[in-house]
Amino acid sequence: MSKVSIDELLVYFKNANYWWILLGAILGLLSHLSRAYRWLFMLEPMGYHVKLPNSIMAVFAAYLINYTIPRAGEVARVSVLTTYEGVPFDRGFGTVVAERIADLIVMFSIILVTLCLQFDFIFNFFLSKFNVSKVIIGMVGLAVFGIAFLIYIRTSHSTLAVKIRTFVLGLLEGILSIFKMKKKWPFIAHTLFIWAMYVLMFYITTFALDGLQPIAFGAILIAFISASFSIAATNGGIGSYPVAVYAAFSLFGIAEGPSIAFGWIMWSSQTLLIIVCGGLSLLFLPVYNRKFNLK
């Protein structure tokens, strides 16, 4: 539970440099636009030439709907193209799954880079918080279980094993499909750009508050990862985002006040962006497509 009062938060909001917050929001906007454009690369090989405005509005509408029901936005996003572009739902949803796999690969890469950059810090932190022998026993046990599970999946002919094997093969096929598409390099470039904007947006916004600078880039990465998981676990990170940021920043001795305030400012600026753009998208989708239907 945060000890920072609402009055204290309001002081941070009042004294924040909103030019840095605006720049961070613009970087976030660029990442969303890039995601919408990247989607076209996966739809074109299947013969669907989707209009970019529809893809943009579908992405923003999905983000907005995710604030109500987690992951429901992905269904809504595909449904938009099914309704206005004639893309079959199963094919459209398949492209979204493949996109998420690409995003997961980048996310795990960021985690790996963070572990490399902050290995000593993270290792010493775990040494101070956890019993090393128990951790090692747990990791060995997990590895043994994983190997046994893989052997079971590969050799068993049970219904469950076959379903899991089919699912895993489908995921691998989705990953490989990214490298088989004609525009795979633009797709990869946009994927890297999206995540670079996410991290840069996070970093740039720290300049808006006193008490956060200078800040180690490792602290930025750990806080970014922590905040990202809070978004995935809740409806857009409502309530949990600032706490996740503070939990990461506190490891580096950063005070609770500016950490919590930064978390709320980051969450609020991006949420406002989604509410405005997502709301406008839901309003203009039928208007924009009625214009084409009348032609």
Looking at residue 171, its pLDDT comes to: 56
* Non-local CB neighbours of 138 within 8 Å, separated by 6+ positions: none
Looking at residue 125, its pLDDT comes to: 56
In percent, how much of the chain has pLDDT > 70?
86
Looking at residue 147, its pLDDT comes to: 86
Secondary structure class of 5 (helix, strand, coil): coil
pLDDT bracket for residue 280 (50, 70, 90): very high
Looking at residue 262, its pLDDT comes to: 93
Q: Which of 268, 207, 210, 216 is nearest to 242 (CA)?
A: 268
Q: Domain boundaries in the chain? A: 6-129+188-290
Residues 235, 66 contacting (CB under 8 angstroms): yes
Looking at residue 58, its pLDDT comes to: 94
- Please say if the pLDDT value at position 170 is more than 90: no
In this predicted model, what pLDDT tens digit does every residue of 129-169 receive, in sequence order? Answer: 555 566 677 778 888 888 888 887 788 888 877 777 776 76
Higher local confidence (pLDDT), 208 or 2? 208
What is the largest distance, in Å, between two alpha-carbon atoms of the chain? 71
* Non-local CB neighbours of 77 within 8 Å, separated by 6+ positions: 58, 59, 61, 62, 96
Query: What pTM value is reported for the model?
Result: 0.81
Residue range 60-83: mean pLDDT, rounded: 87
C-alpha distances (whole Å) from 148 to each of 38, 141, 167 are 38, 11, 18
For residue 118, give the DSSP letter. Answer: T
pLDDT bracket for residue 62 (50, 70, 90): very high
In this predicted model, what pLDDT tens digit does every residue of 221-259 receive, in sequence order? Answer: 888 988 888 887 777 777 788 888 888 888 888 888 888
Higher local confidence (pLDDT), 5 or 123? 5
Residues 17, 208 contacting (CB under 8 angstroms): yes
Q: Which residue has the tokens 């203009």?
A: 284
Looking at residue 66, its pLDDT comes to: 86
